[in-house]
Structure 1
Amino acid sequence: MNIISLGAGVQSTTLLLMACHGEITPKPDYAIFSDTGWEPKAVYDHLEWLKKEAERFGIEVVITKKGNIKEDLMRAACEGARVATMPFFIKSKSGKIGMIHRQCTQEYKVMPVRNKIRELLGYKPRQVIKEKVKLWMGISLDEIERIKPSQVKWIENQYPLIEKGMDRISCINWLKRKGYPVPPKSSCIGCPFHDNFAWKQLKMNSPDEWEDAVSVDRIIRRLPKLKGEAYLHRSCQPLDKVYLQEDQLELDLFANECTGYCGT
């Protein structure tokens, strides 16, 4: 079985559409998108379009999910429930800033995709899987540091865009040549890996989603068992108090994010 891990961003969209046009073979059996429940509306709109486009070529886009990461964070802050942490920035009592371990990718992206593959193969939980699955990852040449081996023996990660020598610009150019729209960047609305430009775009262009992120930023200070105060912005200031300027962009942390499962 050949399956695309679909993040619905530029690279994995290109990967799926190239497969639709027979430029990457064999034809994948499915493309699987794991929904965290907190993606921007633009991503959901693009995903709906992409599903219909892939169906024209006989490729099914399957959507799966573990839950809603925003609602789970709210519950954890208010009730003390366990939650898979995002890579929040933490400020200790001494003022030292760090970043906590990221659990969200594994629990809201990796495991739901893996569980859906198990279901599509006809296996029940904990049954030993005998088949080999090739999981195509939407990672391009300029993101080679995101390559990771599979965590399970029955899945082999593959990187068709890298094999074709394609970077992000190559993907965008391919989409434009075919007359396809360039997808929005796929990530949670309040992903701490956003740089200042991304935060500023969210604030200026999507005020409802900006307020959504601000509300989560406020409440994560109440998360239990954290050694310090949690923030979405790297400055460890409340998100709505951060002075956002394009020239503040120093480092694209997104390249380190999500092990190829989201943002691609």
Structure 2
Amino acid sequence: MFRVISLGAGVQSTTMALMAAKGELGPMPDCAIFADTGWEPKHVYEHLDRLEKLLPFPVHRVSQGNLRSTIGANRPKGRYLVLDIPVYVATDGTPGGMTNRSCTRDYKIVPIQRKVRELVGLSRKRAPKVPIVEQWIGISLDETIRMKPNREAWITSRWPLIEKRMNRNDCLRWMERNGFDEPRKSSCIGCPYHSNTEWRAIKADPVAWADAVEVDERLRSHPAGAFRLKGDLFLHRSCKPLAEVDLSTPEERGQLNLFLNECEGMCGV
């Protein structure tokens, strides 16, 4: 059985990898794989550089290309523009729903599976119908809704943090006890699933903020219907241009904040 960690470089997968390195999870994984969308914040790459030096097994970095550059790109032999990420749609100024996404599949799942096939000698070969790969996924106890069996018969999924009955806060406490710095959330710079807390963190980095604002404006720079959608497209859930969104906290606005814990998203574990 070939064992591989799906490494998102967030809190949960980092904890899982470090626990394996310390012998608290086993058997020892053969490797970890980080799928790079090309649109991660600078802190993610810096954290990954540090983490690699702490792990006794190799970390492979794979990529399907730069996700950011595909947004609004021409689709070959098609009349509609590419939109791999989910965005919010407003029709006649009225906020509506959210579009579907293919970014996780195309830029995370597919590149990782391609690398695994290479590592176990299945490139250009038919995979067996029985599991030969055990993929460790950093889902914690507070995210059990995300647990799904692998669609590939030759890969079996394993959730070590669930086995240890650990939630995200348990992961943070484990890292603190063991002297590791808490990693920031791993997700794309312009991910529409960001909470306002996360958008504020992006805004604190002028380069990353300018990047996200440019992509947000790009969504509305094309003719109506170019993305095969009716209405205006936005990265922020308010359906307002990102540069104009009020990201101040309730306290900063002189209000009592009754909702202290915003959703932390579920992409970058």
Same fold (TM over 0.5): yes
Aligned equivalent of 1:225, options 205, 225, 228: 228
- For 2:66, the aligned partner's letter is N
**Deviation larger for 61-70 or 88-97:** 88-97
Query: AA paired with 2:265?
Result: F
Check conservation: 1:87, 1:102, Cα contact below 8 A.
yes
Equivalent residue, structure 1, for 2:239: 236
Counterparts of 2:231 and 2:109 in 1: how far apart (Å)?
28
Q: Does residue 1:62 correspond to 2:60, yes or no?
A: yes
| Cα displacement string for residues 43-93 of structure 1 (whole angstroms, at most 9, x for unaligned residues) | 000001111111xx2x1111001010001115349x967535211111124
- Matched with 1:202 is 202
Give the corresponding residue for 1:140: 140
After superposition, residues 166-185 of structure 1 pair within 5 angstroms as 166-185=166-185
Letter in 2 for 1:69: L
List structure 1 segments (4+ residues) > 6 angstroms apart after TM superposition: none
Q: 1:106 to 1:244 in 2, by over 3 A?
A: same
- Which of the pair has more CA radius of gyration? 2
Match of 2:111 in 1: 112
Which position in structure 2 is the counterpart of 1:95? 94
Q: What amino acid sits opposite 2:206 in the alignment?
A: P
Residue 84 of structure 1 contacts residue 107 of structure 1 at CA under 8 Å; is this kept in 2? Answer: no
User: What is the deviation of 1:253?
Assistant: 6.5
**What's the CA shift for 1:246?**
2.6
Tell whether 2:265 aligns with 1:254. yes
- Aligned with 1:254: secondary structure? coil
Question: The residue matched to 2:82 in structure 1 has which SS?
Answer: coil
Shift of 1:123: 1.6
Q: Distance in 1 between matches of 2:4 and 2:263?
A: 28
Distance in 2 between residues matched to 1:10 and 1:154, nearest whole Å: 28
Structure 2 CA distance for partners of 1:105 and 1:181, relative to 1, 3 Å? same
Q: Quick one: structure 1 residues 94 and 214, their matched pair in 2 at CA, closer, same or farther if it must change by over 3 Å? A: closer
Q: SS of the residue aligned with 2:139?
A: coil
Percent identity over paired residues? 45
Structure 2 CA distance for aligned equivalents of residues 97 and 119 of structure 1: 43
| Aligned mates of 1:80, 1:200 — CA distance in 2 | 36
Richer in helix (by share): 1
Question: Matched residues in 1 for 2:40 and 2:114: separation?
Answer: 21
2:253 matched to which residue of 1?
none
Q: TM-score, normalised by structure 1?
A: 0.89
Distance 1:220 1:126 in 2: 40
Taking structure 1 as reference, are residues 35 and 80 closer, same or farther at Cα in structure 2, changes over 3 Å only? farther
**C-alpha contact (below 8 Å) 2:197/2:262 kept by paired residues:** no
**Following TM superposition, by how much is the alpha carbon of 1:149 offset from its aligned partner in structure 2, in angstroms?**
1.7
Q: CA deviation at 1:166?
A: 0.6
AA of the residue aligned to 2:73: R
Cα-to-partner distance string for 1:27-53 (whole Å, 9 max, x where unaligned) = 001100000000000000000111111
How far apart are residue 168 of structure 1 and its match? Answer: 0.8
Tell me: higher relative CO, structure 1 or 2? Use CA pairs within 8 A at least 6 residues apart.
1
Unaligned runs of 5+ in 2: 251-256
Query: Is the CA contact 1:123–1:129 (under 8 Å) kept in the aligned structure 2?
Result: no
1-structure distance, mates of 2:53, 2:101: 33
